[in-house]
């Protein structure tokens, strides 16, 4: 197994309140090498916290996370992270944003620059290498962020609702782009989302989480064939999976009052 999440729990002990807040309740799962796994759950359920624990950005209260045979104790340089917000550095050009991780790792050389240019070309931004982030649309910015997360060839790519701020059409474009990049790089991907169809369209495995505190309420193996294309969204198999995820989330009953 590439990654093992074992009985991970997270409790926030806020000083003002007497009762501690349980964000995550004993979550266990395994991630195979090269697998695309989605954490699907309602907003604010703790799935992002779990992703950040895996990334080493947040400490866990209990349990263990092992990636590539090593316990995660803090951020690791073999991870790539795509954040929820468009957090490109506004004072850097597109190319310099993509090269940012290489600078931090002390590996910004000619090879890194040409790799950044190649990555930008694969996402269709070869004409924007010298542009500044504010000159790009939201979708283009998130493509740059994707290139930035991949520049140092991470073995695990962590994505925190990366397409949440994009419009529907752009998001669907990004899905196909991400699938293509994944096929090319064979990177293992952990993907947090609250979109049912996004989770199913992209993943090999979907973990459905409950409302806070986060527990796994269903594990869906998505055995839809690759390469996946947009018409897959309208097949019976796809909608059946959507229905199962919807049932696990409880949205097929009336729960919209929360």
Partner 1 sequence: MHINNLKGYLYPIAGIVVLLFAWHFYVIEFDVPVVVLPTPGQVLEELVSRRAILLSEGWVTLKECVYGFALAFVVGVPLAVALATSRLLNQMFYPILIAMQSVPKIALAPIVLVWLGIGIESKLAIVWMVAFFPIVVDTAAGLRTTPREFIDLAQSLQATRFQLFIKIQFPAALPFVVSGSKVAITLAVIGAVIAEFVGSSAGLGNLLLVANSQLNTPLAFAALFALAALGIALYGAVVLAEHLLKPWLPADTGHNLSLD
Residues at the site binding partner 1, with contacts judged by CB under 8 A = 55-57, 74-77, 79, 81, 83, 85, 87, 89-91, 100-101, 103-105, 132-134, 152
Q: How far is the CB of 47 from partner 1 (least distance, A)?
A: 17
Q: How far is the CB of 134 from partner 1 (least distance, A)?
A: 4
User: In this complex, which beta carbon is closest to partner 1, that of residue 87 or of residue 235?
Assistant: 87
Q: How far is the CB of 135 from partner 1 (least distance, A)?
A: 8
User: In this complex, which beta carbon is closest to partner 1, that of residue 189 or of residue 196?
Assistant: 189
3-state SS, the chain, equals CCEEEEEEEEEECCCCCCCCEEEEEEEEEEECCCCEEEEECCCCCCHHHHHHHHHCCCCCCEEEEEECCEECCCCCCCEEEECCCCCCCCCCCHHHHHCHHHHHCCCCCHHHHHHHHHHHHHCCCHHHCCCCHHHCCHHHHHHHHHHHHHCCCCCEEEEECCCCCCCHHHHHHHHHHHHHHHHHHCCEEEEEECCHHHHHHHCCEEEEECCCCECEEEEEECCCCCCCCHHHHHCHHHHHHHHHHHHHHCCCCCCCCC
User: In this complex, which beta carbon is closest to partner 1, that of residue 76 or of residue 211?
Assistant: 76
Closest to 154 (Cα-Cα) out of 224, 92, 91, 81: 81
Q: How far is the CB of 225 from partner 1 (least distance, A)?
A: 33
CA-CA distances (angstroms) from residue 146 to 67, 87, 246? 21, 11, 28
Q: How far is the CB of 81 from partner 1 (least distance, A)?
A: 4
User: In this complex, which beta carbon is closest to partner 1, that of residue 69 or of residue 90?
Assistant: 90
Q: How far is the CB of 138 from partner 1 (least distance, A)?
A: 14
User: In this complex, which beta carbon is closest to partner 1, that of residue 85 or of residue 240?
Assistant: 85
User: In this complex, which beta carbon is closest to partner 1, that of residue 7 or of residue 153?
Assistant: 153
Q: How far is the CB of 77 from partner 1 (least distance, A)?
A: 6
User: In this complex, which beta carbon is closest to partner 1, that of residue 132 or of residue 233?
Assistant: 132
Angle between helices 138-150 and 168-185 (to 10 degrees): 20
């Amino acid at each position: 197994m590439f990654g093992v999440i074992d009985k991970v729990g997270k409790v926030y002990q806020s000083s003002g309140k007497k009762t501690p807040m349980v964000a995550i309740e004993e979550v266990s799962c395994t991630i195979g090498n090269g697998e695309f796994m989605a954490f699907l759950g309602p907003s604010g359920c703790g799935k992002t916290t779990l992703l950040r624990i895996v990334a080493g950005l947040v400490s866990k209260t209990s349990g263990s996370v092992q990636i590539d045979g090593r316990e995660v104790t803090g951020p690791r340089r073999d991870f790539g992270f795509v954040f929820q917000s468009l957090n490109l550095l506004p004072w850097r050009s597109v190319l310099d944003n993509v090269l940012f991780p290489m600078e931090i790792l002390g590996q910004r050389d000619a090879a890194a620059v040409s790799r950044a240019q190649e990555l930008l070309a694969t996402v269709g931004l070869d004409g924007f290498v010298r542009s500044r982030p504010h000159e790009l649309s939201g979708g283009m910015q998130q493509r740059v962020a994707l290139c930035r997360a991949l520049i140092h060839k991470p073995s695990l790519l962590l994505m925190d609702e990366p397409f949440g701020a994009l419009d529907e059409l752009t998001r669907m474009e990004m899905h196909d782009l991400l699938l293509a990049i994944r096929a090319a790089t064979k990177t293992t991907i952990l993907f947090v989302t609250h979109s049912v169809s996004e989770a199913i369209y992209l993943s090999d495995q979907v973990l459905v989480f409950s409302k806070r505190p986060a527990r796994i309420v269903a594990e869906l193996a998505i055995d839809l064939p690759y390469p996946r294309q947009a018409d897959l969204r309208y097949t019976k198999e796809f909608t059946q999976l959507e229905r199962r995820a919807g049932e696990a989330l409880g949205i097929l009953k009336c729960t919209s009052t929360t």
